[in-house]
Amino acid sequence: MDAQIVNFQKYYDEFTSFTSDIDDGVPRGILKSEAFFVRALIGDIKPMQLIESGRAQGQSTLLLAKSLPHLRIISFERDYDHVDSKIALDRLNSLNNVCCLFGDSKKILPNIALEGDVVVIDGPKDMDALWLLKKISEKTRISCAFIHDAHRGSLLRMWLDRFRKNLLYSDKSDFLARYCHLDRCKSDTEIKFWSNANNYPMQKVYSGTFSFLQAKDLKFSILDSYRIFYFKMFAKYTRSLKKRLGLKYKTNHPCG
Ligand SMILES: C[S@@+](CC[C@H](N)C(=O)[O-])C[C@H]1O[C@@H](n2cnc3c(N)ncnc32)[C@H](O)[C@@H]1O
């Protein structure tokens, strides 16, 4: 088993007790197992602050803020007017380690991230998230980053599998076998299925999935920039072509 995953167990009791009052019956936002994945990996890094991009209703913000009470969390959301924004502010109001801000992360994050920060991106998505990370890394040396929705079948995952080998993902069989039971929104049948590490690899996708990029993975060469740009353009072209042909744009996202 992956040594990093073996190490996760030391954070388990604290995580479950700190997040026990968070409702995850309805799958809105990241899963508890995914938040645990982030929490356990940050545990050994001990950064000063975490910057989140993409808050929506604040499920990720809430889970991370509660499970890392000594860490300052600065959360960005682009859509001020969206109904989710008010829901998030109401849910996060009482937490004094969270600062909720509004604005476009693509413009703001490269200018405000500090050396040693942890960055968690759950919007913008896919190759745009990786592009944002590249822009941040050009300005400062963050300690690590997590990009959500790096599920198998996504363009982002294809890029990472090809150009950043051996990254850790929250859909790794060892991790799911041990920790997917944290997700109460999943049915008993699903939990039983995913708890068996031999059921991987397969066609099914468990969740949005976090990818974990360490400092060494965040050094982007000029060739990397071209590759990301090329993938971004490919995604844009495919989307607009499907739209023009009147086809429904369908991703392989687990939530459809
Ligand atoms: C999937 S939702 C985030 C869910 C949230 N992390 C959770 O677990 O509850 C994605 C969010 O990212 C926001 N977003 C997309 N692009 C963004 C950008 N450039 N800057 C800030 N927020 C952005 C969207 O408005 C949306 O609310």
Query: Which residue lies with its CA nearest to atom 14 of ligand 1?
Result: 123
- Domain extent for 222: 3-244
Q: Report if residue 218 sits inside a domain.
A: yes
Ligand 1 atom closest to the Cα of residue 104 is: 20
Q: Report if residue 114 sits inside a domain.
A: yes
Ligand 1 pocket: which of 33, 74, 76, 79 to mutate (most atoms <8 Å of CB)? 79
Q: Report if residue 249 sits inside a domain.
A: no
pLDDT digit string (tens) for the chain, length 256 residues: 778 898 999 999 999 999 999 988 777 899 999 999 999 999 878 898 999 999 999 999 999 999 999 999 999 999 999 999 999 999 999 999 999 999 999 999 999 999 999 999 999 999 999 999 999 999 999 999 999 999 998 999 999 999 999 999 999 999 999 999 999 999 999 999 999 988 776 667 898 999 999 999 999 999 999 999 999 999 888 888 888 887 765 555 554 4
pTM equals 0.93
Number of domains in the chain: 1
Edge-to-edge strand list for the sheet holding 98-102 = 98-102, 72-77, 49-53, 118-121, 144-147, 211-214, 168-169
Residues counted in the chain: 256
Residue 256: predicted pLDDT: 41
Q: Report if residue 256 sits inside a domain.
A: no
Residue 109: predicted pLDDT: 98
Q: Report if residue 71 sits inside a domain.
A: yes
Ligand 1 pocket: which of 31, 37, 55 to mutate (most atoms <8 Å of CB)? 55
Query: Which residue lies with its CA nearest to atom 2 of ligand 1?
Result: 56
CATH for 238 = 3.40.50.150
Rg of the chain, C-alpha, whole Å: 18
Residues with Cβ within 8 Å of residue 100, at least 6 apart in sequence = 55, 58, 61, 75, 77, 88, 89, 92
* Distance of alpha carbon 92 from alpha carbon 13, whole angstroms: 23
Q: Report if residue 253 sits inside a domain.
A: no
Tokens of 153: 């079948």
Q: Report if residue 64 sits inside a domain.
A: yes
